[in-house]
Structure 1
Amino acid sequence: MSLEKAQEHLAKFGKADAVMEFDTSSATVELAAAAVGCEPARIAKTLSFAVGDRVALVVCAGDARIANPKFKAQFATKPKMLSPDEAEARIGHAVGGVCPFGVNEECDIYLDESLRRFSTVFPACGSSNSAIELSPGELEEITDGTWVDVCKLPE
């Protein structure tokens, strides 16, 4: 159901047919990179946080990590990730397929600057074996996401 929800959202932008489905799991950055055939950094992972009564979905590069001070400065709270049960109920997608497409109303989508260094990235599409290739600009248009700088990259 979650994959269909993401595809319905993507269809509004003419992108439903661009969704790739794999015979193997793409539930982690490493598995997704292997399934897609790209470097792990180009996997656009979606992290979910409780921010007041809302959910902040932060889409960032596969090699990026949340920088606690930057997150707190942006959202005025410490980063608290949703549990797997909370994620599915509040976002509409289960962990392993969490994505910024076709999400519940209480979700706000943020795109981290770590994505901008790539011409295209690969976010999941609601299931643990799907992805789509989009430019950062397409991702912004399709999600109506807000650009933020809340991550750090490996040194």
Structure 2
Amino acid sequence: MTMPSSAHPRFAAALSELGLTDVEIRAFPDATRTAAQAAEAIGCELSQIVKSLIFVADGEPVLVLMDGASRVDVERVRAELGAETVRRADADLVREATGYAIGGVPPFGHLTAMRVLADRGLLVHTVVWAAAGTPHTVFALGPTDLIAHAGGSLADVREQPAGAAR
């Protein structure tokens, strides 16, 4: 089966290699670069959007998969990885490590193999949506399958609301 032309070619190839030939790619005329834009375009909850965020831990790129309604707690990522330092990657490093621009980074199909942390909160949904390699395309998958295909380890790396128990 041929992949839809709307998916980024590298991502379409990754889907094919993983045997995910029945995954539907949805394209939108307006960018779905932010989680809020994607949720509005799809008509789903903000927390059903998977953000694929690149961080740098002790000089190495790391992918964190986080729901669209939450923020990553960098200190929790640092502790989970046992790293000395963790910081958000800049746009150039994101493109260099993944092959995609910020706003279109999918959870897998990257240029560089990297460690992947997936926030446990993604598992509360039956279906989640993630970027398909461009700011205009998304795809849906069950969270367990998405995390497995990304090679992710489950972790609690979301920022907790002020006053919440850690």
TM-score by length of 2: 0.84
Q: What amino acid maps onto 1:148 in structure 2? A: A
Map 1:73-112 → 2, pairs under 5 A: 73-75=79-81, 76-112=83-119
Q: What amino acid maps onto 1:6 in structure 2? A: F
Counterpart of 1:10 in structure 2 is 15
The alpha-carbon deviation at position 8 of structure 1 amounts to 0.9
1:35–1:68 CA distance, 2 compared to 1 (3 A)? same
Aligned residues: percent identity?
26
The alpha-carbon deviation at position 18 of structure 1 amounts to 1.4
Structure 2 CA distance for aligned equivalents of residues 50 and 95 of structure 1: 15
Q: What amino acid maps onto 1:117 in structure 2? A: V
Q: CA offsets per residue over residues 65-113 of structure 1, 9 Å max, x none? A: 1123312211223431111111111221101101222102242222111
TM-score by length of 1: 0.89
Structure 2 CA distance for aligned equivalents of residues 41 and 88 of structure 1: 25
1:129–1:99 CA distance, 2 compared to 1 (3 A)? same
Aligned alpha-carbon RMSD (Å): 2.0
Q: Which runs of 5+ in 1 are unaligned?
A: none
Asked whether 1:30 is paired with 2:30, we answer: no
Q: Which runs of 5+ in 2 are unaligned?
A: 1-5
Say if 2:7 and 2:137, in contact at 8 Å, map to a contact too.
no
Please list every run of at least 4 consecutive aligned residues from structure 1 whose deviation after the TM superposition is greater than 6 angstroms: none
SS in structure 2 at match of 1:152? coil
The alpha-carbon deviation at position 153 of structure 1 amounts to 5.1
Aligned residues: 155
The alpha-carbon deviation at position 135 of structure 1 amounts to 0.8
Counterpart of 1:44 in structure 2 is 50
Q: What amino acid maps onto 1:135 in structure 2? A: G
User: Greater CA radius of gyration, 1 or 2?
Assistant: 2
